[in-house]
Amino acid sequence: MVEGDCMFTGKTENLGVIGWPIAHSLSPVLQNAALREAGLDYAYIALPVSPKDLPAAVEGLRAMNFRGFNVTIPHKTTVIPLLDEIDKDARIIGAVNTVINENGRLRGCNTDAGGFIGALEEKGFRAEGKHVSLLGAGGAARAVIWGLVKNKARRISIGVRNPSKAGVVMEFFQKYTDIAVFFWESEEFRSELEKTDLLVNTTPLGMYPAVDAMPSVDFGRLNKDAFVYDIIYTPYRTRFLKEAAALGHPVLNGEGMLAGQGAEAFRLWTGKKANVDLMKKTLREYLEELK
């Protein structure tokens, strides 16, 4: 393929992302930029698939010999029984975001945990032995928790609006790590913040267009040396991160996590290393154009 061209042939390997709706997905932007830069004869497209059509779509992608595909909302869990194999990360997180077609056999993976940790490590933060506090206990939190477990975080404290709903997450991960759930405005959680090395927002609060929202957190009680991470990437800096930065905390948004999980999917499909810096640059430029 000539660099910059969109000339595909019968030898072109096909990739895609399935979801409903799918117009919001940034995966085609990131993946096609990385594929072009690597000089690979691949094409990556967005594929709208309604929940009722998911079984037929998965079989169709298998039949058409797609090399692989990403999976986004609302299919990350419901796709699991339609696949031939699920890796350990996806099984523990309870969601698949990447599928590889290996000679007609579909293997489901989850690259979110690796993307989360990779972005942190790029900033020089290592989770091993650290006390981490999370805000939220949804699907994104499960991937974050598993990444922290694999990287030997010492303790994980989860602050939520409704602790009873988050209890199932705590019970599941208790066999892997020291983990507890608290109401995020409680004195108990504020005490956890005083010992926290890393504070992570896994909720959608503050995401565009509701940019004035943020999870409830008492920054006055947060360890003054804590690293603060918001997995949201639009806006570039949420209100949560702005308040943390104003108090002198090092901060990180979700841009690196998005690019990192995409880069790992890229490697699984192509066997090549993606240019993560290019992915992040492309993402930033694309989001700027949308403003």
pLDDT tens digit sequence for 164-205: 989 999 999 999 999 999 999 999 999 999 999 999 999 999
In a domain, 70, yes or no: yes
Q: Which long-range contacts (CB under 8 A, 24 or more apart) does 182-190 make?
A: 182/157, 182/158, 183/159, 184/135, 184/159, 184/160, 184/215, 184/216, 184/217, 185/216, 185/218, 189/133, 189/157, 189/159, 190/218, 190/221
Same domain? For 43 and 75 the reply is yes
Q: Say yes or no: 147 and 209 in one domain.
A: yes
If asked whether residues 144 and 239 sit together in one domain, one would say yes
Going by pLDDT thresholds of 50, 70 and 90, the confidence category of residue 10 is confident
Q: Are residues 148 and 225 in the same domain?
A: yes
Is 242 among the catalytic positions?
no
- In CATH, what number is assigned to the domain containing residue 219? 3.40.50.720
Task: Decide which of 160 and 290 is more confident.
Answer: 160
Asked if the structure places residue 2 within a domain, the reply is: no
Instruction: Tell me the C-alpha distance between 106 and 79, whole Å.
Output: 11
Mean pLDDT of 64-76: 96
Clarify whether residues 82 and 147 are in a common domain.
no
Q: What is residue 261's predicted lDDT score, i.e. its pLDDT? A: 97
Residues 141 and 64 grouped into a single domain:
no
Q: Is 239 a domain residue?
A: yes
Judge whether 6 lies within some domain.
no
For residue range 50-61, what is the model confidence (pLDDT) as tens digits?
A: 999 999 999 999
Whether residues 264 and 244 fall in one domain: no
Both tokens assigned to 290: 């949308």
Same domain, 74 and 159: no
Whether 221 maps to a domain, the answer reads yes
pLDDT confidence of 7, banded at 50, 70, 90? Answer: low
Rounded mean pLDDT of the chain?
A: 95
| Confidence (pTM) | 0.91
Interval 239-256: pLDDT, tens: 999 999 999 999 999 999
Residue 234 lies in a domain: yes
Per-residue pLDDT reduced to its tens digit, 131-174: 999 999 998 999 999 999 999 999 999 999 999 989 999 999 99
Provide mean pLDDT across the span 113-141. Answer: 96
Q: Which residues pair with 227 in a beta bridge?
A: 198
- Looking at residue 1, its pLDDT comes to 36
Number of domains in the chain: 2
Identify the active-site residue in 11, 76, 150, 281.
76
| Residue 117 within any structural domain of the chain | no
pLDDT band for position 288 (cuts 50, 70, 90) = confident
* Structural domain containing residue 282: 13-111+256-290
In a domain, 155, yes or no: yes
Kindly state whether residues 204 and 88 are assigned to the same domain.
no
Which domain CATH number covers 70?
Answer: 3.40.50.10860
Tell me, what's the pLDDT at 118? 95
